[in-house]
Chains A and B, each alone.
Chain A
Amino acid sequence: NAGVTQTPKFQVLKTGQSMTLQCAQDMNHEYMSWYRQDPGMGLRLIHYSVGAGITDQGEVPNGYNVSRSTTEDFPLRLLSAAPSQTSVYFCASRIERGASYNEQFFGPGTRLTVL
């Protein structure tokens, strides 16, 4: 199993540009989520999905969109990038939402810089 994969690893955008961060998992996990990591802030939840076709907002959703057309993929879209979105983004998955006592698997991250 590849686990959770993310592309790209690094990205530089200009203010106002849009882009999609890709995330895929091959563990047949129902639950997937996106976090951003900023220095001294820990991880903050952006959006999550409890299964194909179902998404919901987390703690910091503004400026981001998600969709879940398949169990495997959960892309994160930045609609109009802003410098405040400079961060490291992690995608994660686990068996199901209600099973948060189970291990959550994380991707390697995407380091995004917005100029």
Chain B
Amino acid sequence: AQSVTQLDSHVSVSEGTPVLLRCNYSSSYSPSLFWYVQHPNKGLQLLLKYTSAATLVKGINGFEAEFKKSETSFHLTKPSAHMSDAAEYFCVVSRPEEGADGLTFGKGTHLIIQP
């Protein structure tokens, strides 16, 4: 079975400072991993995904994530936070053979940007 743990339910940073959102996963095999973002009262939008190619993945809006198999982590980072980054972020692990739709969602991290 697979699982996803987002280590922080809330993260608060000042505008212009780095962002780090942490995600650990467990999976019997090499999974695909995603980060989705949800702005207030909106649906989820794909930020980036890892599918066993390069371990450093670049996404939209300056976000990137690094897949570290030895640490079973897929942390999301951004060098400089912007007010528009305030949103809920979900780490998702994918294995087609696991579960009904192969996706396991983390519980989410709420990112707060202080002016």
Query: A-side interface residues toward B, CB under 8 Å?
Result: 4, 31, 33, 40-45, 48, 56-59, 90, 92, 97-101, 103-104, 106-109, 111
25 contacts between A and B (CB under 8 A): A40-B9, A40-B107, A40-B108, A42-B90, A42-B108, A43-B44, A43-B90, A48-B100, A56-B100, A57-B100, A58-B101, A90-B43, A90-B44, A92-B44, A97-B96, A99-B96, A101-B32, A101-B51, A101-B94, A103-B49, A104-B46, A104-B103, A106-B36, A106-B44, A109-B41
Across the interface, name the chain A residue whose C-beta is closest to B50: A101
A-B CB contacts (within 8 Å), total count: 66
Chain B 102-115 per-residue mask, 1 if CB under 8 angstroms from chain A, else 0: 11011110000000
Chain B, interface SS category: loop
CB <8 Å contact, B107 and A109: no
8 Å CB contact of B105 from A43, A98, A100, A107 = A43
Instruction: Tell me if B42 is interfacial: C-beta within 8 Å of chain A.
Output: yes
CB <8 Å contact, B96 and A107: no
Query: B-side interface residues toward A, CB under 8 Å?
Result: 9, 32, 34, 36, 41-46, 49, 51, 90, 94-96, 99-103, 105-108
Across the interface, name the chain B residue whose C-beta is closest to A59: B100
Given A90-B43, A103-B46, A42-B105 contact (CB < 8 Å): yes
* Best-buried of B44, B49, B94 by chain A (most CB within 10 Å): B44
Give the docked Cα–Cα distance between A98 and B43 (Å). Answer: 23
Across the interface, name the chain B residue whose C-beta is closest to A94: B101
8 Å CB contact of B100 from A4, A45, A101, A111 = A45
Given A40-B9, A58-B101, A100-B96 contact (CB < 8 Å): yes
Given A43-B105, A100-B95, A108-B42 contact (CB < 8 Å): yes
Give the docked Cα–Cα distance between A91 and B86 (Å). Answer: 23
Give the docked Cα–Cα distance between A43 and B105 (Å). Answer: 6
Q: Told that A31-B101, A92-B44 touch, could you supply 6 new A-B pairs with CB distance under 8 A? A: A33-B101, A42-B107, A59-B99, A59-B100, A90-B44, A100-B94
Give the docked Cα–Cα distance between A109 and B88 (Å). Answer: 15
